[in-house]
A and B are shown apart, each in its own frame.
Chain A
Amino acid sequence: MSISAHLPVLQVVLPLISAPLAVLLRHGGFAAAIVTTGAWAAFAAAIGLWLQVAESGTLSYHIGNWAPPWGIEYRVDRLTSFVLLLVSGTAAIVLPWSRASIEREIPQELHYLYYAMFGLCLAGLLGITITGDAFNIFVFLEISSLATYVLIAMGRDRRALTAAYRYLIMGSIGATFIVIGIGFLYLMTGTLNLADMAVRLREVENTRPVLVALAFLTVGISLKLALFPLHQWLPNAYTYAPSAVTAFLAATATKVSVYVLIRFYYSIFGESLVFEQLPLPQIMLVLSLLAMFIASFIAIFQDNLKLLFAYSSIGQIGYITLGLSFGSVTGLTGSIVHLLNHGIAKAAIFLLIGGLVLGLTRPGTTPVVPGFDRLAGLSKKMPLTCIGIVIAGLSLIGVPGTAGFISKWYLILAALEQGQFWLVGAIVLSSLLAVAYVWRFVEVAYFSPPPASSTDIKEAPFSLLAPAWLLVIATLWFGLDTSFSIGAASDAARQLLKTGS
């Protein structure tokens, strides 16, 4: 048995096994070790899969040795391996970071459960990405979602519970809509295998059940990806969850949902149905613009730093769906590369805010809320943390030299290709809103005098700063050397647009 032949399944199985092992071991330290090993093994598998796909094209793995379409198939193409790298890489960085952070935020006897749920969530997200079977997407989606609800409910503040409840209700409605959509597709094509479904869908494309399936899938996935009017669960869920959980979710949960949307639109329904016959591009354009402007605007007025960046996430997701609405290679490239760029930047910001919260909290007390009144003059006491947040914030704005600029550049190129000059203006204008909310942080941290009671605040410990700064440096790296990110994204976009009808 050669490991490289079984990489697709090991990608999911290794984190999945680490979760019940963590439950059996009960002790926080051992659980942490097992789940972190599982996450690093998953990252290694993702790198292995990336190299294999680059060399030999799309991989197909038959679970249980049943040939598709009877059995479940795991299918890895360029986009899949790209998203796998993002998700497993984020977990590999956040898990070692979370050891120090959850000491304060979660009671000691629940640590092993935190790690078990993290392992399950990671396995679920990896499973959604890699599977080539429609119902399997739903099953892994629910595995990761249920684990996420538990992780969010572990936050200290009692509002974490209401945030988890609201996310549970909205997320379950979203998942139910997705399964209704899959049900209609199954009824019309008779198969659950995505590749087979794409072929069979050509004959029944314009029948009403298929259009209904498209509608239900779009709404269900939009609930999961927090597209503008359906974003209500995100701000509170990101704010009141434990810091490590927020960092992991901000970089992965919505991005995997975007992956599912791209997969359904391009590989199954095909661009001719979705983008040419139906008004979906226009609808998505309007909703993306609303997200970009309204969410960024709300972010400016927030008092809690985590809430501010949570609203900023909703705005940034607007950029991703804006790229989708163009339906061209450039637009899709911009969307896919923004998955990576935004994921890295947001994970860095939330990790740094977690370190900030820990630095501000006196030992033995509950973690403080990072409200702007406490952040005054913080740059003197926690210089590395603050400059890290500023650099990642520059990536959110899209300053040249940071990764965010690359994605916005491709979005602007896509708009110019289609002759929509007003859209270029809209993208630039919404970036100015991002300047406003990043400037609020800079003003408070750098230009306000520190309060008198802040003498015992120190910089966050090295174990917390190192992973976060790794991500900050990655943001700068991907802004200057785009060969990996743009190379991967444009290859993925070209492959999707070629294989769709």
Chain B
Amino acid sequence: MQDDLVLRVIGKILIPYILLFAVYVQFHGDFGPGGGFQAGVIFATGIVFYALIFGLQQARAVISDGFVEAMLAAGVLLYAGIGVAGLLLGGNYLDYFVLSSDPIHGQHRGIFWVELGVAITVCGVMIKIFYMFASHGDGGEHRQ
């Protein structure tokens, strides 16, 4: 689809806004529909859109396979890490009350980082699934 002028132009205009919208949805999960999972999916959609218009190789150059797998694992580790941070600071696992001097702010912080971990993992998963299914036509070197 690289030769289609309309798609290329619209893509270049819209994709940054899609990514920005994903970041907006991520941070406004407490006040409206949103949160980590939704934000991760919207961000991945932006990347998929880019891959569809400009080609899979281009998308791989921007976000490589290794980076995507690292994102997958890093998000889970971030979530588990917040839990361990709660343990180290004297509370129970995933205790947000101890994460800051004021328990309410502790809740804010805990939810913020945990949702970020969820968003990173979900984004990684969606992009990985897309890469896997999209590259299946050529040679099928990806087995898993």
Q: Which residues of B contact A17 (CB under 8 A)?
A: 77, 80, 84
With contact pairs A13-B84, A110-B143 given, residues A65 and B92 touching in the complex (Cβ less than 8 Å): yes
A153 to chain B, nearest CB (A): 9
Inter-subunit contact B92/A64 (CB<8 Å): yes
Inter-subunit contact A20/B74 (CB<8 Å): yes
Inter-subunit contact B73/A1 (CB<8 Å): no
Q: Which residues of A contact B37 (CB under 8 A)?
A: none
Binds A, one of B8-16, B26-34, B93-101: B93-101
Q: Which residues of B contact A62 (CB under 8 A)?
A: 92
A293 to chain B, nearest CB (A): 41
Contact with B along A45-68 (1 / 0, CB 8 A): 000000000000000011111000
Interface flag for A107 (CB, 8 Å): yes
Q: Which residues of B contact A16 (CB under 8 A)?
A: 80
Interface flag for B76 (CB, 8 Å): yes
Contact with A along B113-139 (1 / 0, CB 8 A): 000000000000000000000000000
Complexed CA–CA distance, A383 and B134 (Å): 51
Complexed CA–CA distance, A110 and B87 (Å): 33
Contact with A along B83-107 (1 / 0, CB 8 A): 1101110111111111000000000
Complexed CA–CA distance, A1 and B87 (Å): 7
Q: Which residues of A contact B22 (CB under 8 A)?
A: none
Give the dominant DSSP class at A's interface.
Answer: helix
Interface flag for A23 (CB, 8 Å): yes
Complexed CA–CA distance, A113 and B144 (Å): 9
Complexed CA–CA distance, A110 and B84 (Å): 29
Q: Which residues of B contact A26 (CB under 8 A)?
A: 69
Q: Which residues of A contact B90 (CB under 8 A)?
A: 1
Q: Which residues of A contact B83 (CB under 8 A)?
A: 9, 13
Chain A, interface size: which category? 20 to 34
Q: Which residues of B contact A6 (CB under 8 A)?
A: 87, 92-93
Complexed CA–CA distance, A24 and B78 (Å): 13
Complexed CA–CA distance, A110 and B144 (Å): 8
Inter-subunit contact A24/B84 (CB<8 Å): no
Interface flag for B70 (CB, 8 Å): yes
Closest to B80 in A: A17
Interface flag for A139 (CB, 8 Å): no
Interface flag for A21 (CB, 8 Å): yes
Q: Which residues of A contact B143 (CB under 8 A)?
A: 107, 110
Interface flag for B72 (CB, 8 Å): yes
B75 to chain A, nearest CB (A): 8
Closest to A8 in B: B93
Inter-subunit contact A63/B144 (CB<8 Å): no
A133 to chain B, nearest CB (A): 13
A140 to chain B, nearest CB (A): 14
Q: Which residues of B contact A113 (CB under 8 A)?
A: 144
Inter-subunit contact A23/B72 (CB<8 Å): yes
B107 to chain A, nearest CB (A): 10
Which of these, A21, A65, A107, A110, contacts B73 with CB under 8 Å?
A21
Complexed CA–CA distance, A16 and B76 (Å): 9
Closest to A24 in B: B73
Complexed CA–CA distance, A107 and B144 (Å): 11
A144 to chain B, nearest CB (A): 15
A213 to chain B, nearest CB (A): 28
Complexed CA–CA distance, A62 and B95 (Å): 9
Complexed CA–CA distance, A261 and B73 (Å): 33
A103 to chain B, nearest CB (A): 17
Which of these, A19, A21, A64, contacts B93 with CB under 8 Å?
A64
Q: Which residues of B contact A61 (CB under 8 A)?
A: 92
Inter-subunit contact A24/B70 (CB<8 Å): yes
Complexed CA–CA distance, A61 and B93 (Å): 9
Q: Which residues of A contact B96 (CB under 8 A)?
A: 64
Inter-subunit contact A63/B93 (CB<8 Å): yes
Closest to A22 in B: B73
Q: Which residues of A contact B94 (CB under 8 A)?
A: 63-64
Inter-subunit contact B93/A1 (CB<8 Å): no
Complexed CA–CA distance, A396 and B74 (Å): 44
Inter-subunit contact A21/B77 (CB<8 Å): yes
Q: Which residues of A contact B86 (CB under 8 A)?
A: 64
B71 to chain A, nearest CB (A): 10
Contact with B along A264-284 (1 / 0, CB 8 A): 000000000000000000000
Q: Which residues of B contact A63 (CB under 8 A)?
A: 92-94
Q: Which residues of B contact A13 (CB under 8 A)?
A: 80, 83-84, 93
Q: Which of A103-134 contact B (CB under 8 A)?
A: 107, 110, 113
Inter-subunit contact A65/B97 (CB<8 Å): yes
Contact with B along A23-42 (1 / 0, CB 8 A): 11010000000000000000
Inter-subunit contact A9/B93 (CB<8 Å): yes
B135 to chain A, nearest CB (A): 16
B129 to chain A, nearest CB (A): 14
Please list 19 pairs of residues, one from A and one from B, whose beta carbons are closer than 8 Å in the complex, sorted by A's number.
Answer: A1-B88, A6-B87, A6-B92, A6-B93, A9-B92, A17-B77, A17-B84, A20-B73, A20-B76, A21-B77, A23-B69, A24-B74, A26-B69, A63-B92, A63-B94, A64-B92, A64-B93, A107-B143, A113-B144
Measured CB to CB, the residues of A under 8 A from B are 1, 6, 9, 13, 16-17, 19-21, 23-24, 26, 61-65, 107, 110, 113
5 nearest A-B residue pairs (beta carbon):
A20-B73, A9-B93, A23-B73, A20-B76, A65-B95
Given contacts A9-B92, A23-B69, A63-B92, 4 further A-B contacts (CB under 8 A): A1-B90, A17-B84, A20-B77, A61-B92
